[in-house]
Amino acid sequence: MTTITATRAEVCVVACAEAFRGDGEILAAGIGGAITVLAARLARLTFEPDLITHDGTCLLTGDVPPLGETPQVVEGWLPFRDHLWLVLNGRRHVMLGASQIDRYGNSNISCIGDWARPRSQLLGVRGAPGNTVCDPTSYWIPRHSPRVFVPKVDMVSGVGHDRAAEAGPSAYRHHDLRRVVTDLAVLDFDSPDHSMRLASVHPGVTVEEVVDRTGFPLAVPDPVPRTRMPTAEELRVLREVLDPGSLREREVPDPGSPAPGAPASSQGRQAPGPSRGRETPA
């Protein structure tokens, strides 16, 4: 049996793809960038073949093209108006980004600081409010840090468990936060009070690192599982078919093989804003 070696980015793609497992014939909507788009396409090409994926604009692709390539087969049309309709309809699992996220999964992409006169104006809430109360929602956070994982977000854009419960049945009826994948770990809300729980740490990452880099108390099971490694077939599809140009590695630089307890990755001092263009509603 050969040993499988995968980069951190590849572990992240698979962890994001796992979010779509069991989704069936619905749209897997990534927010853009390499990892979430690869995740949806990888899931479709391997364990979730009925998923619907799009080209980043308004085409539903009949084939599953490599990152950045034009689809050869088109199976549907989803202009923005229909994408916004689909959000309300719910046959869609979205993987959002967040500049801030709190322990109940409230997220912020709108602005940092006081809303009336923000220190840093970001995108605006976009579709996060509707997405989170209408569709299964997961998050992809490329740099796990206390600047992102905060006790309280400055402007609730995506709705978390506590806020959905407060807002009543219309808000929580379809509210379905699935998982938060970061460069260090997978988190979910499978705890008694639906607060964020450490579901698994990526290979080479310690529980302490994740706890240290999270700005609020995490529910931590004992023991904490390890995020699964990609299979040989998943790695083949990723490396040879979907992303031969290795764009995934630019989004999540590989920390190499750190000694136990060493920092899992060099954390860039990046502003807590979205790091890339978003092409679809979210």
Partner 1 sequence: MTGKVMTVEEVVGSLRSGMTVGIGGWGSRRKPMALVRAICRSPLDDLTIVSYGGADVGLLCAHGKVRRVIAPFVTLDSIPLEPHFRIARQSAAVDFTEYDEGMFMFGLLAAAHRLPFLPTRAGLGSDVTRVNPGLRTVRSPYPDGEELIAVPALTMDVALVHLNRADHRGNAQYLGPDPYFDDLYAKAAERCYVSCERLVDTADLLKEGPVQSLLISRSMVTGVVETPGGAHFSSCEPDYDRDEAFQRAYVAAASDPEAWKAFRERYLSGDEAAYQEAVRLSRESA
The residues, any chain, with a CB within 8 Å of residue 170's CB and separated by 6 or more, are 133
Closer CB to partner 1, 5 or 57, in the complex: 57
Q: Does 123 bind partner 1 (CB under 8 A)?
A: yes
Q: Does 164 bind partner 1 (CB under 8 A)?
A: yes
The footprint of partner 1 on residues 63-102 (CB under 8 A) is 77, 79-81, 84, 87-88
The footprint of partner 1 on residues 172-191 (CB under 8 A) is 173-175
State which of residues 124, 146, 221, 225 lies at the interface with partner 1 (CB under 8 A): 124
State which of residues 133, 181, 198, 235 lies at the interface with partner 1 (CB under 8 A): 133
Instruction: Quote the distance between the C-alpha of residue 201 and its chain's center.
Output: 15
Identify the helix (H) or strand (E) that includes residue 63: none
State which of residues 5, 25, 62, 170 lies at the interface with partner 1 (CB under 8 A): 170
Q: Does 110 bind partner 1 (CB under 8 A)?
A: yes
Cα four-point dihedral sign 120, 267, 195, 136: positive
Angle among Cα 66, 277, 201 to the nearest 5 degrees reads: 70
Q: Does 118 bind partner 1 (CB under 8 A)?
A: yes
Structure tokens at 169: 């049945």
State which of residues 156, 184, 201, 237 lies at the interface with partner 1 (CB under 8 A): 156
Q: Does 151 bind partner 1 (CB under 8 A)?
A: no
74: which strand partners?
Answer: 61
Burial code (b: 16+ CB inside 10 Å, e: under 16) for 137-164 equals: bbbbbbbbbebbbbeebbbbbbbbbbbb
Q: Is the peptide bond before 223 cis (omega within 30 degrees of 0)?
A: yes
Q: Does 150 bind partner 1 (CB under 8 A)?
A: no
Closer CB to partner 1, 255 or 272, in the complex: 272
Instruction: Quote the distance between the C-alpha of residue 167 and its chain's center.
Output: 25
For strands 176-182 and 136-141, give the pairing. Answer: parallel
Q: Does 27 bind partner 1 (CB under 8 A)?
A: no
Closer CB to partner 1, 129 or 258, in the complex: 129
Name the one range near partner 1 by CB under 8 A: 9-17, 41-49, 194-202, 271-279: 271-279
State which of residues 2, 117, 192, 257 lies at the interface with partner 1 (CB under 8 A): 117
The residues, any chain, with a CB within 8 Å of residue 169's CB and separated by 6 or more, are none
CA 122, CA 158: separation in Å to the nearest integer? 14
Closer CB to partner 1, 173 or 236, in the complex: 173
# residues contacting partner 1 (CB under 8 A): 55
State which of residues 37, 52, 95, 128 lies at the interface with partner 1 (CB under 8 A): 128
Structure tokens at 77: 């049309």
Name the residue among 49, 45, 93, 41 with its Cα closest to residue 67.
41
Q: Does 105 bind partner 1 (CB under 8 A)?
A: no
Q: Does 60 bind partner 1 (CB under 8 A)?
A: no
- List interacting residues with partner 1 (CB under 8 A): 57-59, 77, 79-81, 84, 87-88, 110-111, 115-130, 132-134, 155-159, 163-164, 166-171, 173-175, 273-279, 281
